[in-house]
Amino acid sequence: MRFRRDGAPGNAAPAPMPREVWVLVSAGFVIALGYGVVAPALPEFAASFGVDLTAASAIVSAFAVMRLVFAPTSGRLVTRFGERPMYLLGVFIVALSTLAAALAQTYWQLMLFRGLGGVGSVMFSVAALGLLIRISPPAIRGRVSGLYSSSFVLGSITGPVLGGALVGFGLRVPFVVYAVTLFAAITVVHLQLRHSTLGQLDGSTKVAVMPLPSALRIGAYRSAVATAAIFGWVYAMRVSLVPLYFARVLHQHVGIAGLALATYACGDVIAMMPAGRLSDRIGRRPLIVAGMTILALATLTLAFTHSVAIAFASTLIGGIGTGMVSPSQQAVLADVMYGHGRGGPVLVTYQMSQDLGTVIGPVAGGFLAQEWGFPTAFTVTALLAAVAAAAWLTTRDSLVIRAA
């Protein structure tokens, strides 16, 4: 039988999108909406307790540190109890910790509650990624990854704008709104998936788990893990430093910083769906190389401008680069795990690598900005993105042409 480049039989219609994917996409939008609401206020909320620039940036790392520490345990819990229950429990933990953060009276209380939120965050992140990989038809892995990633970005576009407006009512208000959106996400997923055949699928404790050594023998997986660390650095640096850059260097209101994050998210969503579809046809590697290169150039431009207009243009272009990379990276994981059941340590290792970058990025970037200025912090970040692009040039593409 002859197959198309996307893996479907010749003249066959593309594989249909499973209903469960749409449920996770909807919940992803709600979760990201709440996170976007908090993003513009978080560094300033931390700074309101009288801490310096590095400490204010480190509040983003607290969330990621706990994600990193709890990742192995979350992987075991997902393997033992199934993806869907751990997804719901994870979101519930984040909701409660966010509500507690809104009531924080000291910097260290805020740090503690954000850290606890990271425990729940890694639980639902690993569970959601495992579900998507297992229910995605092989011929449309990139398309599914693009759609799911886009749901988060669309929430991120709306969230910072809303968050910037809510800051006017107080720095604690966005946290309350975030908690409410998370409870809404729990309701959506529980009601829509409780009678789904997915419930029986992910509840089994006999599903095979792919060994990590098997994945590490695949070059594309090794490159994906390395890129994830740099990707985490870049993303966290933008969330933690860009709002401060707009406020302290460009002298803009915190609401404008929210618009900058929304602009970055706009670039993301512009690129994600086309990139996901294209990666199903031409491969994952070209999209990752091009995306990381664009991200490096955009970040480097941001390092040397004092123009608000150019800064906004740079964030938009940087978002386009990110949007090209994200769905392609997730599709690489799906390619690697094809036919091996649950991801287990394979997914956890990838997630831990990205979280490691998220931990280091804000602290290192904040330190560089404090000691040598924002241009230095942005230049180092751009160089790391360029290194990731170069690494993929010698990596064999993970896309394998199979019948759907």
Residue 109, pLDDT score: 86
Phi, psi of 3 (to 5 degrees): -120, 150
Q: For tokens 């990731």, name the residue.
A: 388
Question: What pTM did the predictor assign?
Answer: 0.74
DSSP state of 214: H
Cβ atoms 97, 114 nearer than 8 A: yes
Q: Residue 152 — pLDDT band, cuts 50, 70, 90?
A: confident
Give pLDDT tens digits for 3-50: 344 444 444 455 667 777 888 888 888 888 877 788 777 777 777 777
Q: Please count the other Cβ atoms lying within 10 Å of the Cβ belonging to residue 10.
A: 8
**Two tokens, residue 78:** 């997902």
DSSP state of 51: -
More confident residue, 353 or 11: 353
**Two tokens, residue 384:** 């790391």
* pLDDT above 90 (res 195): no
Residue 290, pLDDT score: 92
The lowest-confidence range among 65-74, 101-110, 205-214, 226-235 is 205-214
Q: Residue 293 — pLDDT band, cuts 50, 70, 90?
A: very high
Q: Where are the domains of the chain?
A: 19-392
Give pLDDT tens digits for 201-239: 444 555 567 777 877 888 888 888 989 888 888 877 777
**What is the Cα gyration radius of the chain?**
20
Long-range contacts of residues 193-201, Cβ cutoff 8 Å, at least 24 apart: 193/20, 193/23, 193/84, 196/19, 196/20, 196/23, 198/20, 198/84, 198/131, 198/135, 199/84, 201/134, 201/135
Give pLDDT tens digits for 254-291: 677 767 777 887 888 888 888 888 888 888 889 999 99
Is 19-392 a CATH 3.20.20.150 domain?
Answer: no
Cα first-last separation, the chain: 12
Phi, psi of 342 (to 5 degrees): -70, 150
Phi, psi of 104 (to 5 degrees): -60, 140
Let me know how long the chain is: 404
Beta bridge partners of 9: 3
Q: Residue 338 — pLDDT band, cuts 50, 70, 90?
A: low
* pLDDT above 70 (res 252): yes
**Two tokens, residue 266:** 């706009």
More confident residue, 63 or 13: 63
